[in-house]
Every structure is written in structure tokens, then in C-alpha cells.
Structure 1
């Protein structure tokens, strides 16, 4: 704050200058609302896959378009009517893995830990879209099949946040948080919840996989809270 020359001013003028300076420099940040801008929702994200337009045509036929059967919490995203079989090493298979829409720029399969055991795959925990160096699999649809060279992951638990949500909780895209869950017999705190920052249209939503949701008895939870971690980043903002 630069110096203000008040020499020779009358008392009332000094008071006016002081009030003006304080109002300018000590005003609370308007970007942070007085209460949480959005309610917190925690959802279980079951095994699913994302497909490119090219792979949709290979698996379901030329010119095929995904058919929405259930709209998801985030606007514009949906569970499709279509399912595929995911085949791992030694022909171990998950016969009906739901396709989520809309189509993406790269195909990807997201599974829980028990799914990876069933398939015989050692899957890394990754943020969606971070598939470099991950295992592949065989995808089989009603009209064809294809070998996915990479793209099978265990999805890292994460929370979708708008800019207002991130301001309220005091976090940035890529940082890690904690999720405190109060439920009968198995209340716990889940560490390493990655912040996925988006635009103003994003709703505040946590995604856990089926193993995590079952372990904390999420369907019977009486309270869920987001907490700031001591520090750390998942690297997904790079």
C-alpha cells in the first residue's frame, strides 16, 4: 500500500481518506461466496468405457450413433444403451461393460480393482484421459472387435468442481482433497481425492468406483464432507 499525504487536512477529511483507503484495500474477496455455492453429491461410477466415433462404428456397425438411456448428473453426459465385452489375458472377460457418451477423442476403459483381478490385469490408478503406458485389452461388440493397445485404468477417485466450488474450498485444479464419510459401522476418510476443475456449468460431484463405494457403505451414509489435504497434487493439471 503506497503512502497517502494527509498533511494539512482537517479531521473530517482525514477520516474520509482513511475510510476510502480501507474500503479499497481491505474489501473481502467477492469471488468467494458466503456459503457453499453447490450441494455435494457423491456417486458411484461403475465400470464403463468411452469410445471414439471410429471405434463405435467398428463395434456396432457403420454409421452407428450411441443411444442415451440415462442422463448423468453432469449436463450433456449419459449412459448409453450399448454395452461391449472387455476381454483380458487368458480370455478372461467382463461381458457387459456400459458405454458412456458422448464419444471421445480416445477410447478408454475404467474398471474397479476387483474387475482388474477378474481380468488378470495389473491396472494403474489414473485420472481419466491419462492412459499413456497403461494395459490394453480386446473390445468385442455385436458387429466387430478391436484390440485396444492401451487405455485400461482404475479411475482415481475425484471431485468435479466449478470455479466457484474451488474458490469456496480453497483448492485448485489437480490438488488433492479428503472425503469424510459417516456411515453405519464404517465411517472413514478417503485420502487422495483429485480435484477436476471445470467451467461454471460443472456440478459439485465426487466419483468413487464400486469397490470404494461398497467399502464405505455409501448407500447408507448419513453425511459426506470435503476436507482440504495437507498438500500434494495428482499431476492431472499439467
Structure 2
């Protein structure tokens, strides 16, 4: 009788572990970076210049170039900023609140692509410099997922959720945007300030919290 109860408890714990694993969301840090439009690539690097790929990113068809740029604000500069590809229709710069203070600007917290009335910044290389008007945002924390993931988590595109993230200093992030597209791989993106707050490591996972 005792052994039967013990076996049931073990089975219960194993099943709970599997269920929890199905609810896990990989958490990635999206450090400061720039998406350049083709026009700005040609000004900053030259019309005949061929950008070179450094590595693929977790989302399909997204990658990082070897080339880097410098951001120049009213109060400071940040060198060695990564450029992500492929080129965008409009240049977009994503930084953290700490970066914004260094540069002396006050960008809004926005979803990617929402650049109207955002901050402006100068972007420089050794060859040239541009003013990227209405281009700078602090990226709203978000989760990429496909439609099957959305069914599993019982959420939909553009829904706002809360996510418990299990770092060295576990936190619950509120106001997390769900982005659903079949081109996406499952991952939650936070910026460097948020990552530092929770004691981030590469194996950090999150779970949607249902209040």
C-alpha cells in the first residue's frame, strides 16, 4: 500500500514536470542594435559595399552583420553597435533606457515598427554620418510565437500578458506583447536593463502567468 502511494506521487511529479516544460518560453536578451534601410547602408558604407553576415539569429531569416556603427546623441556616444539584417524599409534603432541616458535622448517604449514621433539620432561610420529622424525606440518586451504555440498557450496576436521569468532574481514582467506569426520561433525578448534586473543567464526560461 505504501509503495503504491509512493509510485502515484512519483508519477504525479513526473507528469507535472512534463506539463511545466511544455509551458516554458526561452528568454533572449535583445541588446542595443540598429536596423538600417538600404539608402542609409549606402551612405554609411558606400554604394558598392557588400555587407557581410556574422551569424544567424533565433528568428528565421534574421541575422547580424559583421559591420558596426556609432550612435551619437546630444550628451554622449555609443560605439560598436550591432547592425541586424536584412535591410528595413525605414531605419530603426533599439536601445535600453540606460543607453538613452548615456546618449541624452528620451525614446518611447514601442512595438517594433512604430516609429512615428520617436527619437532621432546620428549614426556614424568611418566613412559618413546620417541623422536618422524618428528612428529610436526602447523595444516593448514581447514574445514571438507561431499559431500552434498560441493555441498551446491560449493567447492571440497582440494580446498583453504577464510572464514569470526564472533568473537568479526571479521577476514577473507585466505588459508583455504577444506576436503571433508562422514565421516566428518561440522566444521572449527583453532588453539588457531587464536582463540585468533578473540576473540573466542563457538558460533562463519564462512562463505566462494567468491571474
Q: Assess if the C-alpha contact under 8 Å between 2:52 and 2:66 holds in 1.
A: yes
Give the aligned partner of residue 207 of structure 1: 189
Aligned with residue 190 of structure 1, among 162, 173, 177: 173
- Is 1:120 the counterpart of 2:93 in the alignment? no
Aligned with residue 171 of structure 1, among 138, 141, 155: 155
The TM-score normalised by the length of structure 1 is 0.76
Q: Assess if the C-alpha contact under 8 Å between 1:181 and 1:221 holds in 2.
A: no
Structure 1 unaligned blocks of 5 or more: 1-33, 231-238
- Over alpha carbons, which structure has the higher Rg? 1
For 2:40 and 2:209, the matched residues in 1 are separated by 40
CA distance 1:222–1:83, shift in 2 (3 Å): closer
CA distance 1:224–1:66, shift in 2 (3 Å): same
For 2:176 and 2:139, the matched residues in 1 are separated by 11
Give the SS at the match of 1:89.
Answer: coil
Q: CA offset at residue 221 of structure 1? A: 6.4
For 1:66 and 1:158, the matched residues in 2 are separated by 28
Give the SS at the match of 2:134.
Answer: coil
The TM-score normalised by the length of structure 2 is 0.85
For 2:204 and 2:46, the matched residues in 1 are separated by 45
Q: CA offset at residue 183 of structure 1? A: 2.8
CA displacement, residues 177-236 of structure 1 (integer Å, 9 cap, x when unaligned): 11112233x21111111011112x3110100000101100121766521234x6xxxxxx
Q: Assess if the C-alpha contact under 8 Å between 1:48 and 1:97 holds in 2.
A: yes
CA displacement, residues 152-174 of structure 1 (integer Å, 9 cap, x when unaligned): 01011000010111111111111
Aligned with residue 50 of structure 2, among 56, 65, 80: 65
The number of residue pairs the alignment matches comes to 193
Q: Assess if the C-alpha contact under 8 Å between 1:39 and 1:204 holds in 2.
A: no
CA distance 1:225–1:96, shift in 2 (3 Å): same
Structure 2 unaligned blocks of 5 or more: 1-18
Give the aligned partner of residue 227 of structure 1: 209
Give the aligned partner of residue 61 of structure 2: 76
RMSD: 2.1
For 2:91 and 2:45, the matched residues in 1 are separated by 14
Give the aligned partner of residue 151 of structure 1: 135
